Chains A and B, each alone.
Chain A
Amino acid sequence: MADKRIPTVIAEDVHITYRVHGAQNKDTSPLGALKRIVRRQPSGVVREVHAVKGVSFTAYEGEAIGLIGSNGSGKSTLLRAVAGVLPSNQGSIYTKGQPSLLGVNAALINDLSGERNAQLGCLAMGMTIEQSRQATPQIIDFSGINERGDFGSLPMRTYSSGMAARLKFAIAVAKRHEVLLIDEALATGDALFRRKSEERVRELRAEAGTVFLVSHSLSSIRDTCERVIWLESGVIKADGPTEDVVPEYEAFANKK
């Protein structure tokens, strides 16, 4: 029976390390930097972070999977690796089509208007110029940023963080994705927008996609996902139905 389901993402013993530049040293003076070079100590400025340590799972078509865990447990890093934007050092990830990563950090150009950003975002996702032109009004409409006057033509730096997050979400869901990766996006925006976006996520799932959702809001995980992967310090602690894993995680979090 398991073989009849179509896998969309397969991860096999994945390890991911990324580099952080600009980490702080104890001695930040020029003399301190010289001392480290003379003594051949490693420069503390570049630090490697081993964020994901041997993760394996298989996701199937039509599933919505929640990723939970404490801050810094490697959830966002894992999503980036599935999206193919962060290479894994060891192990491999196979995906169906090009997964689309939707994060609150997906940076657009702040000096440009919301409409131009929407169009640029569509092109970056690989749409043609006509498709992006058609999609732009729908994106602005869905994001609801024009409800308080004409914000679509104002530069994005003038937006509140909630408005910017709504626009980013609207851009990412404008295209039909086989695999959609959502990084905490549902937590932003007001109650109305949350309902709209949860509805859209359900629609995308109905279109036979797989949805991954990273969130600290357990209620939105309960509402949208039937399977949950619990990551802790880069290792999978539990992988199973929401009603089993979430209480386990809650017990763990309360104990701390």
Chain B
Amino acid sequence: MADAVVTEPYPALAPAQLAARHGLRVAGARPGLVEYVRRLWDYRHFIVAFANARNIATFSSAKLGQLWHVLTPLTNAGVYFLIFGVILGTNKGIENFVGFLCAGIFIFGYTQQVVMAGTKAITDNMNLIRALQFPRASLPIAATITQLQQMLFAIAVLLGIVLVTGEPITLKWLTLIPLLLLQTLFNVGMAMLFARLGSKIMDLKQIVPFLLRTWLYASGVFFSLGKAIADAPHTVKVLLQLNPMVPFIELTREALLQDSGVPPESVTEMWLVAAGWAVVLGVGGFIYFWRGEKEYGRG
């Protein structure tokens, strides 16, 4: 008797009507933007736990373990100092070249790592995406948080380096907090942008390192950009001023070093450029990512 009912494959009503009557939703439908943000907020614990898990897993098999969070930025700074400070001697004209260099490397490194992690955020977690339904933006956000945690260690190392090289502690250090927040917002946007691009363009993983290296040299990490482009045409100067990494790096130097080489009259302008980029990418990247929400499982 029960079997006779079970065998009936089609109900009398049209499927869509039947679904509506019983409150069924379309599987995997993309929610509205507000609803999406709300769901993402519900998943905040997952995002943080996932970011932590990634961080712990990174060094889980190394003998020194979590100590590498500090050792990595320290070694990084050492290598660059050896090449640019000792061997090539680029430090002409910059008083505290070690502090100057480390600020540039660490600030740029943060965005660099986020872009690389963001590019792989969808493709590397395909098993998770094809197994569970959750707001996919959790993945690039978690990737950013993983890097933010490493950045905090790097900042601590940076402050140590600055102190050791003879800079005083000033109130200006506090400006690092809003600066880091702006850069994090900027990075979240970058992570989402590259996550969606990377999920569609498989070859992006190969191209991104080169893009990042070009960006690195155009951001004045190893040299004082102001001096290098003194004789450059006007358009080049404007383009470099609009480079979002320049204000993030220069303002950090300005906050930490007595003689940072940053012209005081350009500080306000740099804050505006930094904030503008952070908002444009933070919001734009999020909307761009959200529009692709349904497609991430397809590969």
Where the two chains meet, the residues of A that have a C-beta atom closer than 8 Å to any C-beta of B are 1-3, 5-12, 17-21, 45-46, 56-58, 60, 63, 80-88, 92-96, 98-101, 103, 105-107, 109, 111-112, 116, 119-120, 123-126, 128-129, 132, 155, 226-227, 239-241, 244
Contacts and interface: CB of A to CB of B under 8 A. Distances in A.
A92 B46 contact: no
B237 interface: no
Interface of B: 2-3, 5-13, 15-16, 18-19, 22-29, 42-43, 45-46, 49-50, 53-54, 56-57, 60-61, 127-134, 202, 294-295, 297-299
A71 B144 CA distance: 39
Contacts of B11: 2-3, 7, 58
Given A155-B60, A240-B7, 17 more contacts: A1-B5, A2-B12, A56-B9, A58-B9, A80-B297, A81-B28, A85-B132, A87-B294, A95-B27, A96-B23, A107-B131, A123-B46, A124-B128, A126-B134, A227-B6, A227-B7, A241-B3
Given A58-B18, A86-B298, A92-B16, A111 B28 contact: no
Given A81-B27, A96-B22, A111 B16 contact: no
A88 B26 CA distance: 11
Contacts of A60: 6
A85 to B, nearest CB: 4
A106 B132 CA distance: 8
Contacts of A1: 5
Given A58-B11, A80-B130, A105-B127, A112 B5 contact: no
Contacts of B42: 126
Contacts of B294: 87
Contacts of B22: 6-7, 96
B53 A112 contact: yes
Q: Which of A84, A85, A119 has most B Cβ within 10 Å?
A: A85
What are the nearest 7 A-B pairs in CB distance? A84-B28, A107-B127, A94-B19, A106-B131, A111-B57, A94-B24, A123-B46
Of the listed residues A9, A17, A56, A112, the one surrounded by the most CB atoms of chain B closer than 10 A to its CB is A112
B56 A112 contact: yes
Nearest to A86: B297
A126 B12 contact: no
Given A58-B11, A83-B27, A7 B18 contact: yes
Contacts of A240: 6-7
Contacts of B298: 17-19, 86-87
A126 B41 CA distance: 11
